[in-house]
Amino acid sequence: MRSETGFDPELYKRFPTREERPEGELEELERVWRAPTGWARLTVVNNNYIGTYYVGAAFLFFILAGILALVMRVQLALPLSGVLPQETYNQFFTMHGTLMMFLFAVPAVEALGVLLLPQMLAARDLPFPRLSAYAFWAYFVGGLCFFASLFFGLAPNGGWFMYPPLTSTAYSPGINADFWLLGIGFIEISAIAGAIEIIVGVLLTRAPGMSLDKMPIFAWAMLVFAVMIIIGFPAIILGTLLLELERALNWPFFDPTRGGDPVLWQHLFWFFGHPEVYIIFLPAAGLVSMMVATLSRARLVGYRLVVLALVATGFISFGVWSHHMFTTGMPTLTIGFFAAASMAVSVPAGVQVFSWIATLAVGRPRLNTPTLFLVGGLVTFVIGGLTGVMVAMVPFDWQVHDTHFIVAHLHYVLIGGMVFPLFAAFYYWTPMMSRRALSERLGKWIFWLMFAGMQVTFLPMHLTGFMGMPRRVYTYLPGRDWEITNFISTVGAFMIGAGVLLFVIDLARNFRFTVGDEAGNVYGGGTLEWLPTGLYSTRSIPLVTSREPLWDDPGLAKAAEEGRYFLPGSATGHRETLVTSPIRAEPQYLQIMPGPSVWPLLAAIFTAGFFIILTIQGYGIAVFSGILAILCVLRWLWEADRPVAAESADIGAGIQVPTYVTGPSTHGWWAMVVLLIVIGMIFLMAVFSYLYLWGIHPGFWRSPPDPLWLGPILLGHGAAAGLALFGRWMLAREKTTLWTPGVLIVLSAGALLLAFGADFYSWRVTGLAPDASGQGATVYAFLSMQGLLTAIAALMAAFLSARNSRGLIVRPRNNSYDLIVLFIAYTAAQGAISALLARLFPGAL
C-alpha cells in the first residue's frame, strides 16, 4: 500500500542492508555536525549542548531557591526570631516561590525534553535548534539578573502569586513588584518557545514507523505538557501585562473604585497557576513511566491507559483553577463545579500510579538509586494527592486555607511528583551524556537524606496548619504550641539540604560531559536514546516497529551505528533531519537545519536586557535594547528558508524525498499555527477580562462609538486578509504583473494600519480614557494588542520585501510568504472581532 507521499512501507523490508557504506560518509557527517570550540561554544545550537546547559541552569536555580528556603526555615524555627527582618523575609519568600515555580520546575522538565526527545525519537535534533538556543539564553541571562535583584533590596515582595491590591502602587510603590511582572517576561517567552519546539518536534520528527501508539511515554507526556503551556501560559502573560499597565499607566483593571476587580487577577493567575502543577507533574510522570519499566525489567502495564490518563489530566486541569478561590465568595453552584473537578483530576493521576505499582509488581525491580527515588517519590506524591482531595472539599478548605497545611500539601505534590523523579532521572540518564555514571553508594545516602528530610520537614507542617499557623508570616508569638513542629520542620529542611549537597559532590566527582564516549546503557533501557550517538544523534535513523525497539531487536543498535538505516550520512552536505507524518510517521521531506550562530545568543541577551532595564525605568535604553533584539532575530531569520541545490535526496531503501516543501505539512507552518494559538489564547483571556468586568461593574460602562465606524474598520481588515491571500495565489502561479506578491503583502500591511487607525480614532473621539474605568482600560488593552500585531505584520512585510529584493523569495511557493500570510490573516480576524465585541457589548444591550 502506497501513501499519499509516495512512501511504500514494503521498502522497509530492505533494512538492514549489508552493503558497505561509502568511504568518508561518517567523517562528512561528523564534519557537518561538529560543534564550535572555545568561546565560540556559546554559539552552539546542538540539543546535546543546549539541553545540558538548560538542565544545569535549572538545577542552579533549584539550589539558589533551596538556600533561600533554609534561611526562611531558620527564621521560623523559633518564635520572634530576628534572623530576617519582615521586608527581607517577604523578598526571600517571594523569590523562593518564583524561582521554584518559574525558574526551576517548568524549565527543568522543558530542558529534559530538549535533551532527551531527539534521542528518543531518533531525530538529528529538534526542528528549530536556534529557537532552543534563544529560549535557553533568554532564560539563563534574564534569570540571573532577576535573582540579582535580591542583593539590592529590589526583589519582589508580594508573594509568587502577586495578588492585587497588595501589589498595586498604593501598597507597593517601589519597583519590587515590577521586577516580578517584567522580570518573568523572558521566562514566559522561553517557555512558549520551548513548547512550540516540542510540539512540532514530537509530531513531525519521529523515526519512520514510530506511529503515535509506538511513541515513548515521555514523548506523550511532553506533547501534553507543551499543549498545556500553549493554553495556560497566555493567561499569566496577559495578567502580568495588565497589572504592569495598571502600575505604570494607572489603567484600572484591578481597581474596584473605577470599574476594575482584584479577583480578575486571581482568575487569570490560577487559570495558569493550577494547571502549572500538572504542567510540572506530567513530564515527570512520563519519566517515571519510562524508568519504572526498565528498572523493573518489564514492559509498562497499561500503556494506552497511561496515555489516556496524561491527556485526561491535561484536559481536566483547566477546569480546576478556582479550586484556589473557594474563599473569595463565588456562587455556590460555581464552587460545587470546581470542587467536583478538583476531585475528578485525581482519577487519571491514580491510573498512572496503579500502572507503576503493577509494573513493579510484575517485574523484578532492582534496588538501585533510581528505583529508590521512584518508590520514594511515589509514596510522597500519593500522600500529597490524598491531602489534595481533602482540600477539594469546600468546608475543609475553608478551615485550612492559607495555613501551613497548604504549604505541606503543595510540597508533597511537587517534591514527590517532580523533584524525586527528576533525581531518579539524573541517575538513570547521566550515563547517556557522561563518561562515568553517578555513584550508587552516594546516591543511596542522598536518597535517604532527602526522603527522610522531606517527611520530617513537611509531615509536621500539616499539624502546624491545623493548629492555625498562617502561611506567609515571618514570625509568630510564643505560647501557641507552634514551636516544636516548626523546629522539627527546620531540622528536616537541613536534612534535605545535606542530601542535595551530597548530590552536588557526586556530580563534581563523576559527571564528565561527552558526546560519543558515554558510559552507555547502564540500566538496560529499551528505547532509542540508548543508541550509539554523536552530535548528529544516531548515525542512521532506524525503522521502529515496537515501543521498546532495543529489547525487541538486539541487533538494531549495531545496525544503526553502521549506517544501515535511513539517512546514514549527510545527503545534501548540510545539517538535516527527516520530517515524518504526524500520525503514522511516514517520511515526508528532508529538513535542512541551521548550524551554530551568535544571533540567537545576542537576541536573548538584548531580550533579557529589554525587560530588566524596563523594570528600573531606563525606558530609552530598554527600547534600544528591544530594537537590537529585533534586529538580531531578523538577522538570524535572514539565513533561514533557503532551498538547497538538490531538489530531492535519497534517504535509504531507494526512497527519494524532497528537500523543500511548503504548505500545512511543513514544520514552519505548524510552528506558526501554534504561535497563533498562543496569541489567540491571550486575546481570549482579554475577552474574558472585558466581559468579566462588564458583568461585575456594568455601571461604569458607557456607550461605544458610532456604529458607522465599523464599516471602514471591517473593510480594512477584510482588505488586508484578501490582499495577502491574493498575493499567495499569484505567487503560486508565478504572476509577474505590477501587483507582485511582495507589493500585495505591503499593501495588506497598509490596510491593517488603516483599520487600526480608524478603530483607535473612533474611541478617542468618544472621550473614553484608558485610566477612567475598567471599560476604558480593557478597550485600550484590545487596541494595544491590535497595534502590536499590526506593527509586527508591517515589520514582516518589510522583511519579506527585503528578502524579495535579494532574490530569496523562491517561486512558485515560499514558506516565508505562506507564514506571513497566515499571520496577517489572523491579525485581520482578531482586529475585526475585537472591534465588534467592544461595540456590541454593551452597545447592542
Statement: residue 518 has pLDDT above 80? no
Q: Which amino acid is at 344?
A: A
Q: 491 with 498: CB under 8 angstroms?
A: no
Highest mean pLDDT among 214-223, 519-528, 553-562: 214-223
What are the helix (H) ranges across 205-258?
217-249
Whole-number Å distance between alpha carbons of 542 and 566: 6
C-alpha cell at 519: 558510559
pLDDT in tens, 58-96: 999 999 999 999 999 999 999 999 899 999 999 999 999
Q: 492 with 458: CB under 8 angstroms?
A: yes
Q: 199 with 223: CB under 8 angstroms?
A: yes
Statement: residue 838 has pLDDT above 80? yes
Neighbours of 88 (CB within 10 A): 17
Question: CB under 8 Å to 490, separation ≥6 — which residues?
Answer: 73, 74, 76, 77
Question: CB under 8 Å to 119, separation ≥6 — which residues?
Answer: 432, 528, 529, 531, 533, 537, 538
765, exposed or middle or buried, with CB in 10 Å at 0-12, 13-18, 19+? Answer: exposed
Closest CA to 607 of 628, 638, 637: 628
- pLDDT score for 734: 62
Whole-number Å distance between alpha carbons of 586 and 578: 10
Q: How, if at all, do strands 655-658 and 648-652 pair?
A: antiparallel
- Nearest-5° angle of CA 450, CA 456, CA 458? 95
Whole-number Å distance between alpha carbons of 604 and 99: 19
Q: What value does the mean pLDDT take over residues 159-175?
A: 92
- pLDDT score for 819: 94
pLDDT in tens, 233-289: 999 999 999 999 999 999 999 999 999 999 999 999 999 998 999 999 999 999 999
Claim: this prediction has a pTM higher than 0.85: yes
> Which sign does the torsion angle of CA 545, 547, 549, 551 carry?
negative
- pLDDT score for 328: 87
Q: Is 807 left (phi over 0), alpha (psi -120 to 50) or beta?
A: left
Statement: residue 290 has pLDDT above 90? yes
Q: H or E stretch including 656?
A: strand 655-658
In total, the chain counts a number of residues equal to 845
Statement: residue 18 has pLDDT above 60? no
- pLDDT score for 6: 43
pLDDT in tens, 312-341: 999 999 988 888 888 888 888 888 888 898
Q: What angle in degrees, to the nearest 10, is found between the helix axes of 420-429 and 440-466? A: 170
Beta strands in 72-154 (DSSP E): none
Q: 607 with 142: CB under 8 angstroms?
A: yes
What are residue 591's phi and psi, to 5 degrees?
-90, 125
Beta strands in 483-549 (DSSP E): 533-534, 537-538
Mean pLDDT of the chain: 91
- pLDDT score for 534: 84
Whole-number Å distance between alpha carbons of 447 and 450: 5
Closest CA to 645 of 656, 663, 655, 659: 659
Whole-number Å distance between alpha carbons of 753 and 720: 9
Q: How, if at all, do strands 533-534 and 537-538 pair?
A: antiparallel
Question: CB under 8 Å to 788, separation ≥6 — which residues?
Answer: none
Neighbours of 490 (CB within 10 A): 19
Rg (CA), the chain: 27
Statement: residue 7 has pLDDT above 50? no
Whole-number Å distance between alpha carbons of 662 and 128: 16
Question: CB under 8 Å to 324, separation ≥6 — which residues?
Answer: 266, 270, 273, 274
Q: What value does the mean pLDDT take over residues 534-542?
A: 89
Q: 112 with 283: CB under 8 angstroms?
A: yes
6, exposed or middle or buried, with CB in 10 Å at 0-12, 13-18, 19+? Answer: exposed
Statement: residue 1 has pLDDT above 60? no
C-alpha cell at 305: 491507559
C-alpha cell at 154: 529590589
pLDDT in tens, 275-284: 999 999 999 9
Q: What value does the mean pLDDT take over residues 199-204?
A: 96
Q: 247 with 176: CB under 8 angstroms?
A: no
Q: How, if at all, do strands 587-593 and 655-658 pair?
A: unpaired
- Nearest-5° angle of CA 476, CA 477, CA 478? 120
Whole-number Å distance between alpha carbons of 531 and 539: 9
Whole-number Å distance between alpha carbons of 398 and 396: 5
Q: 565 with 542: CB under 8 angstroms?
A: yes
C-alpha cell at 15: 533494512
Whole-number Å distance between alpha carbons of 649 and 488: 66
- pLDDT score for 4: 40
Q: 513 with 433: CB under 8 angstroms?
A: yes
Neighbours of 554 (CB within 10 A): 9
C-alpha cell at 516: 560519543
- Please name every residue paired with 578 in a beta bridge, in sequence order, or none if there are none: 590
Whole-number Å distance between alpha carbons of 399 and 414: 22
DSSP 738: S
Statement: residue 822 has pLDDT above 70? yes
- pLDDT score for 20: 66
Buried/exposed 302-329: b ≥16 CB within 10 Å, e otherwise = bbebbbebbbbbbebbbbbbbbbbbeee
Q: What value does the mean pLDDT take over residues 634-657?
A: 88
pLDDT in tens, 352-408: 999 999 999 999 998 899 999 999 999 999 999 999 999 989 999 999 999 999 999
Please give the distance of CA 345 from its chain centroid, rounded to a whole number: 21
Q: How, if at all, do strands 533-534 and 648-652 pair?
A: unpaired
Statement: residue 117 has pLDDT above 90? yes
Statement: residue 182 has pLDDT above 90? no
Whole-number Å distance between alpha carbons of 570 and 657: 14
- pLDDT score for 742: 77
- Please name every residue paired with 513 in a beta bridge, in sequence order, or none if there are none: 434
Closest CA to 578 of 51, 209, 225, 47: 209
Q: How, if at all, do strands 537-538 and 655-658 pair?
A: unpaired
812: cis peptide before it, omega within 30°?
A: yes
C-alpha cell at 266: 486571581
Q: Which amino acid is at 307?
A: V
C-alpha cell at 509: 566527582
Statement: residue 645 has pLDDT above 90? no
